[in-house]
Amino acid sequence: MFRPNRLKRLLREKRPARGAWLFMGSPAVTEALAPLGFDALIIDHEHSPGGLETAIHQMRAMAGTGTTVLARLSDNHPAPVRHLLDAGAEGLLAANLDSADAADRLVRATRYPPHGIRGAHYTVSRAAGWGAWSWEVAEFGEAETLTIGLIESVKGVDAIPDMAKVPGLDMLFIGPLDLSISAGVPGQYDAPAFKAVLDAAERRILEAGLALGGTTLPGLSAEMMFDRGYGFVTLGADVTFLRRGAGLALGQPG
């Protein structure tokens, strides 16, 4: 049946939420991770091999766990937004959001008219139980959908105050690797240039009243990030969990 968005509820209640990335395009791996207690899992559609049908199998693997189903888009074109939401994604992350216009296009793609351009396919969509929950999705679907933009460039950091004015944008999530590249210090998370732009991004997102999301970094644990005001923190990814576990089994340093 149509269900409330667990992650959105936690953010609304100012309770810390934890998640992980799914890069392997594997329903079996998703099925193994989903019951462990993550508040949300993110199906990656920017750097991963999986397509829409694979994503549906991953969503089925999460069914019954209460874990919020998120998906990352490579852009905010309306077609993949519509496909993933109609398939059952409960929230979307758009890569490299860097302007108010981009934020507005993203939000409009997730909303039905008159507030957006999403087609009203809830009479037959998987997200609506193939039509069984049409009324629930029509009435509550938009309110339960999480709309998230990734901040991955200095331009994006500069645009945060303007993007935050776009109604319907729920969260800005900081992507540290691309942001460090944009700042001229690739992967150097201790570099003053990266710390300065990270601090500016965090401050502007919190000042704007949006939920702040991010991923753990060396020397920056989830608990430390929650203390800094983050509402949603990813703890790793399926492939990194697998490699780390295998390395430990082989006696290699973590």
Q: Find the farthest-apart pair of alpha carbons in the chain and give their distance in angstroms, rounded.
A: 58
Cis preceding linkage at 114, omega within 30: yes
Helix 52-62 and helix 78-87: axis angle, to 10°?
30
Based on the number of CB atoms within 10 Å of its own CB, is 174 exposed (0-12), middle (13-18) or buried (19 or more)? buried
Dihedrals phi, psi of 252, to nearest 5 degrees: -85, 150
Neighbours of 232 (CB within 10 A): 27
Tokens of 67: 């874990």
Which residues are designated catalytic? 47
Q: Which residues of 115-133 are buried (b: 16+ CB within 10 A; e: fewer)?
A: ebebeebbeebebbbeeeb
